[in-house]
Amino acid sequence: MRSSGIAGQLRRAVVVAKKNILIYYIKGPVIIFGLLIPLFLFLAFMIGNRFASLPFLISGLLAMTLFFTATAVSPVIFPWEAQARTLERLAAAPISIPALVFGDILASFVFGAGITLVPIGIALALGMSVSHPFALALGILIGAVCFSALGTLLSVPPTSSPPNIMMLSSLIKFPLIFISGIFIPIETLPAWGRTIASLSPLTYFADIARYSLGEATTFPIIVDIAALALFAIVFLVASMKLHERTLPGRI
Amino acid sequence: MTRRSTAIDVQEITKRFDDIVAVDRVSFDVRCGEIFGFLGPNGAGKTTTVRMLTGIIRPDAGSIHVMGYDMARDPVSAKQQMGVVPETANAYLDLTARQNMLLAADLYDVPRARAEERIREILSELGLLDRQDHRVHGYSKGMHQRLILGMALLHEPPILFLDEPTSGLDVQSTHLIIAMLQRLNEEGTTIFLTTHNMDEANRLCHRVGIIRRGRIAAIDTPEQLKRTVDRIAMILVAFDRSVDTEALAALPGVAEVSRANDRYRVSVEDIDTAIGSVVSFAHAQGMRILSLDTPAPSLDEVFLTITGGDE
């Protein structure tokens, strides 16, 4: 039947994504989390570290912007909808849970990928050039999927309290910023620091951003893209499977 | 082509939450075109059953078929057959009524031109057309509930699930919703109605199922159910002066007596013996009987008897 097929479910996922953008994304707090926090972190770091090159700093801003925007709203949509009792309606509609999760990821992807135009615009305005535009575009697309899926994965615990998820989300997101080579080049870290950094998907995106802006990289570009894609697939599949298990407990 | 006779077929469904068995091997069917009332005290397993029937949660055991679609194997097709009105109004408050309706249309795959037509029809019938572009945030509870009903009807489902559709609503909204449900049923929609309102169940439902402690306690037409509690028949009698309730209670065939304003409520073990002894008692005391009624048990009384006053 039309509604059960993959095409039907993808169509519904797009409907959910459009609804999320309309209700949750075009709001002030998203702009604050997605743009202002990375911008302030960037400015603070730029003032405190006068020896870092501009491309290194801009690649860090680009990575933070994508990461914070893609994970700003996606973790709290499920608890918000459970609290507002709109989730029950969605759960009774002819949309599968993986399609519902995919719709949430899609909205976050669109917003996250779109907002990277701001730091890229800043880079161009500062006279920098993008040496590898294709690698940058591919990195942004895979990174947006990866971080959006991570955001949705953070909302797996079956609570209907958005503050609980926000707390969990901040506990994971902020440490990732500091271990992913955004502020400190990974090469300068001790061996244990480099090992931890290699476990963060943000490390690979920051490396792609640096490569795209003509900076030296920690890993070969192909490794960065493959690792980011692997994280994206793992987060995507885990998010869909785990939500299938926990969603009924939220309602 | 044969016409389907069963809209919902439920076989031995069970749901546990940790050590608690919320629904225990429940089986029943809902026939096409009927209004089926689902009653039960709080905590009896009503909501859990409805959530399993609407595909929101999965049963641990048993099977559910909706218009022939197996809820376990093909939940999307099964859900496409139904419109759901949960108890709490839950449209998106930041969207307008029209945007909420369009969202429902897209989720149920209603083509845009048909959706526009249905939205106009439904919002007009529900008295919301002139407020369609207002955000739902400013709606009253009655308007909310009417909108939720509208969203559930948009894709013209053969089955409609309603959980307490008129609970806490104003008279106007209640009448509007009840009239709409009656019209939909006359046009062939099967309605599964969960309610605490016995009067509503009595007036609307062709059959009623009562759940108690996770198990089906009774299923029948309201009239048949009332007959099952015939043994607790009652006499309402008024005399031209006060009488001693203990003297009345001691009469043959009488089980219990209480006073209700100017009348005596006499629960009887045997109606024929009790009427005879009450009349003889009045004559012997030189009293006149002003009125004597033998009201049939109400659905309320049936419910209380079957559920043992669990609520």
Quote the CA–CA distance of B304 and B308 in Å, as a whole number.
6
Percentage, residues of chain A above pLDDT 70: 94
Q: Per-residue pLDDT for B301 more than 90?
A: no
Domain ranges of chain A: 3-250
The sheet that has B20-31: what strands, in order across it? B20-31, B6-17, B61-66, B69-70
pLDDT in tens, B47-96: 899 999 999 999 999 999 999 999 999 999 999 999 999 876 589 999 99
Higher model confidence: residue A34 or residue B13? B13
Split at pLDDT 50, 70, 90, the class of A63 is very high
With an 8 Å Cβ cutoff, is A2 touching chain B? yes
| Residue B100 · residue B136 · CB < 8 Å | yes
Split at pLDDT 50, 70, 90, the class of A3 is low
**What is the reported pLDDT for A1?**
44
pLDDT in tens, A43-57: 777 776 666 788 888
Q: Per-residue pLDDT for B230 more than 70?
A: no
Quote the CA–CA distance of A157 and B178 in Å, as a whole number.
40
| Residue B265 · residue B234 · CB < 8 Å | yes
Q: Per-residue pLDDT for B223 more than 50?
A: yes
- Taking contacts as CB-CB distances below 8 angstroms, the residues of chain A near B92 are 19, 23, 84, 86
**What is the reported pLDDT for B190?**
96
Helix (H, G, I), strand (E, B) or coil at A160: coil
Predicted structure pTM score: 0.82
Quote the CA–CA distance of A221 and A58 in Å, as a whole number.
18
Query: ipTM of this complex > 0.90?
Result: no
Quote the CA–CA distance of A212 and A123 in Å, as a whole number.
12
Of B76, B103, B109, the CB nearest to A19: B103
Task: Please give the average per-residue pLDDT across B296-303, as a whole number.
Answer: 70
**What is the reported pLDDT for B1?**
46
With an 8 Å Cβ cutoff, is A8 touching chain B? yes
**What is the reported pLDDT for B182?**
92
Give every CB contact of residue A217 below 8 A, 6+ residues apart in sequence: A207, A210, A211, A224
Structure tokens, B196: 């605490």
Helix (H, G, I), strand (E, B) or coil at B73: coil
**What is the reported pLDDT for B212?**
86
Q: Per-residue pLDDT for A162 more than 50?
A: yes
Asked if B56 and A95 come within 8 Å (Cβ–Cβ), the reply is no
Arithmetic mean of pLDDT over chain B: 88
Q: Per-residue pLDDT for A19 more than 50?
A: yes
pLDDT in tens, A96-150: 999 999 999 999 999 889 888 888 988 898 888 888 999 999 999 999 999 999 9
Q: Per-residue pLDDT for A36 more than 80?
A: no
Distance to chain A for B252, nearest Cα, Å:
55
| H or E segment to which residue B257 belongs | strand B254-260
Q: Per-residue pLDDT for A172 more than 70?
A: yes
Task: Please give the average per-residue pLDDT across B29-34, as a whole number.
Answer: 94
Q: Which residue has the tokens 């309706």?
A: B101
Split at pLDDT 50, 70, 90, the class of B296 is low
Are β-strands B20-31 and B69-70 bridged in parallel, bridged antiparallel, or unpaired? unpaired
pLDDT in tens, B186-201: 999 999 999 887 778 8
Of B95, B109, B161, the CB nearest to A2: B109
Structure tokens, B304: 């209380």
With an 8 Å Cβ cutoff, is A10 touching chain B? no
